Structure 1
């Protein structure tokens, strides 16, 4: 599944190497997220000494960015900044057919969602309903070994709740929770 370079090497690399060797492993590949991280953390030289600290910095920056975007949206009555949706939608749909390309990490994380063709179709239908309820978003959750039924119950609850601002916040938190989990698995391979 790969490995992470020591944190000091990561910090000293150019952005292109940081993206290739670390960012695309911890987070799903997303140029918008890479750009946000670069501008809000690397350019400003925000300190961190571990990957966990780095991911918590990313979480704080994502939530601050989201709050700012929602504030601007409320004042201008325009749509949310498209970068928000690009970052969230970088994550793959849950339970996608095997012929779709998933990162090695996503494939491993979603292994508990496998099931019969009928169950995969139900998950596909829930993905569709979620994306119709929340245009521009994909359902993002830290699966963490939960089974398909638990995930589907969570999807139904979130669709019924129908609060897009909360969905964005939960997605950004899930993205960082997933990254923290990936760090724990990748660091053990050093």
Structure 2
């Protein structure tokens, strides 16, 4: 993986490319990141009264900016992260976090992957326009299955298709419950980014 651009380069460069590269790596590349977050944050960084103190500060500035957006844009932002259990087209960081490239990780069974796929679909029926984001923090996919079941109020199960998706009663978009789930996901994207910094030995 290429080293991150220096903080001074990110802050002072007339081009937004160093910022795009950094945020794309730490927060996952997406159209809303490159088209909305990067231009907004680049302008803000140009006018900072003092130098950036850390990459963690940059992440905090980015997440705080995202939280000022309308809710549809925020939902697009979190959708830039892959679903838990996805195995294809993952960034280097996501592959490591999901155990796809770690040499000592225990391979995830097809049944666990199928269960995760069903739970993701159930979650997305429960919370329209949202995808399930969580700071994995070293937990295996099998452990995340139990975390997601608890989050959805479901019994622990090895079923790959139960309960039926029709049983997922949608939460109203814009309701307090939906907004709380969206905000939790945005915050967790920031936690994931800071964990990525630690894996690089920077802060």
| SS of 1:145 mapped into structure 2 | coil
User: Which of residues 50, 57, 79 in structure 1 aligns to 2:54?
Assistant: 50
Q: Map 1:17-166 onto structure 2 (within 5 A).
A: 17-19=18-20, 21-34=21-34, 35-39=36-40, 41-44=41-44, 45-46=47-48, 47=50, 48-65=52-69, 69=70, 81-96=71-86, 98=87, 100-111=88-99, 114-160=107-153, 163-166=177-180
Higher mean Cα deviation, 147-156 or 162-171?
147-156
Query: Higher Cα Rg: structure 1 or 2?
Result: 2
Contact 2:119–2:149 at 8 Å: present in 1 too?
yes
Residues 60-114 of structure 1: per-residue CA shift (max 9 Å, x gap): 222333xxx3xxxxxxxxxxx4312210111001112x3x211111000001684
Contact 2:63–2:187 at 8 Å: present in 1 too?
yes
Q: Give the count of matched residue pairs.
A: 170
| SS of 1:43 mapped into structure 2 | helix
1:117 CA displacement: 1.0
Query: What are the ranges of 5 or more consecutive residues in structure 1 without an aligned counterpart?
Result: 70-80
| SS of 1:137 mapped into structure 2 | coil
Higher mean Cα deviation, 87-96 or 145-154?
145-154
Residues 97-150 of structure 1: per-residue CA shift (max 9 Å, x gap): x3x211111000001684211111111111110111112211111101012243
Length-normalised TM-score, structure 1: 0.79
Greater RCO (CA < 8 Å, at least 6 residues apart): 1
1:182 CA displacement: 1.2
Contact 2:7–2:54 at 8 Å: present in 1 too?
yes
1:8 aligns with 2:34: no
1:77 aligned partner: none
Which structure: greater helix fraction?
Answer: 1
Contact 1:95–1:120 at 8 Å: present in 2 too?
yes
1:173 CA displacement: 0.6
Length-normalised TM-score, structure 2: 0.75
| SS of 2:37 mapped into structure 1 | helix
Higher mean Cα deviation, 26-35 or 136-145?
26-35
